Structure 1
Amino acid sequence: MTHTAEPLNLVVVSAGLSVPSSTRLLADRLTESVRRELAGSGRPVEVRVVELRDLAVPIANNFVTGFPAPALEEAIEAVTGADALIAVTPVFTASYSGLFKSFFDLIEPDALGGKPVLIAATGGTARHSLVLEHALRPLFAYLRAVVVPTAVYAASEDWGGTGDALTATLPDRIARAGRELARVLAPAAGVPAQGAPEEAVAADLFA
């Protein structure tokens, strides 16, 4: 008897403000990278995108009233119930956006404990790329999530750029980050790994 595997639940949080936005574009490309890596797992992936732009007013109201609107409550439940997250924010004043931070301020500190997260950001210049290590990674460390090693920053010049011999292009970084998140999820997807699963995942991530 053939059993249908339960789909993996991937939730993508995008804090882009414009329509369309480079933040959402980066989120979509990271999502597709993870999909490709898991394609051979024999287990489908369901993707839910949480557009924080659409929740800006409910997020602000929640801070005043203490009660989330139904749409905001649903988004929080989706994030806390996901098997993994992709979180992408634009950079404002050398940090994540206020909207991005405000949303995650509404998440209980232990709600993301042990959850795999891929972090990414967009900005005008590469000078702000350290926001990934100085702001986003500490935020998710506080929330006790497991952030994959490769974080992706996309500056304006990265879109369509060819990079150079010493710097990986944006598509290369997206592919590596997607591979890392997929390999964290691989044991749950039933993908066989050589050796102990924990050792195999760790070896792959830091190869």
Structure 2
Amino acid sequence: MMKMFVRSLVLGASLLLAATAVSAGGIHYQVDTSTRFMADEAANLSGFRMTWTYEPEVSAVIIDGRNMDSGELRQLGEDIMEDLYGLGYYIQFTVNDRPVPFNKVTHFGIKLVENQRIQMEMQVDLKKAIPVAGTVLRLKLVDPDGSAVLVYSGAEKVVLANDLVSKCAGATLENQMMQLNGHDMDVQTASVVCQ
């Protein structure tokens, strides 16, 4: 029930943004993202730490006038994470073009930042750590509904753990138009090439 509640709030936010966010493909809202590729003690890729910051208008609809004390904020975070779990956290991750599975997120944080924007932080652990030598890592964040547009403002928003820096080049971003649920979406792919 809470899953549908949060989904409805986000959908409502999309509708409220219609006046400013209508494009040829439909209604969208932006989520500013950053990602850190994490390594285990053997310098294998172990997962990601992600930060997502929602637009002020979307945040206001999700909060919906509620008192955001620490308990209420934590409950909101749990509801959002449960909703995202059903959508695979919008993550499409491949190593040498092969999909890589990851675990359900158990470590996350939520807070309000400047302009009362909701900011979610989460740690996404791979089911099994992966040696990176000779690999190409590709990460897309895609909302299958075509409403949320998850955006890195620049390649500097995708960073590597210190143990990966000596093995891999810095991330590059490429944009690709995709059709999602009847929406034309400009989707970013973060690519990391490792030697």
The answer to whether the superposition gives a TM-score over 0.5 is: no
Give TM-score scaled by structure 2 length: 0.28
More strand by share: 2
Q: Which structure is richer in relative contact order (CA contacts within 8 A, separation 6 or more)?
A: 2
Per the normalisation by structure 1, the TM-score is 0.27
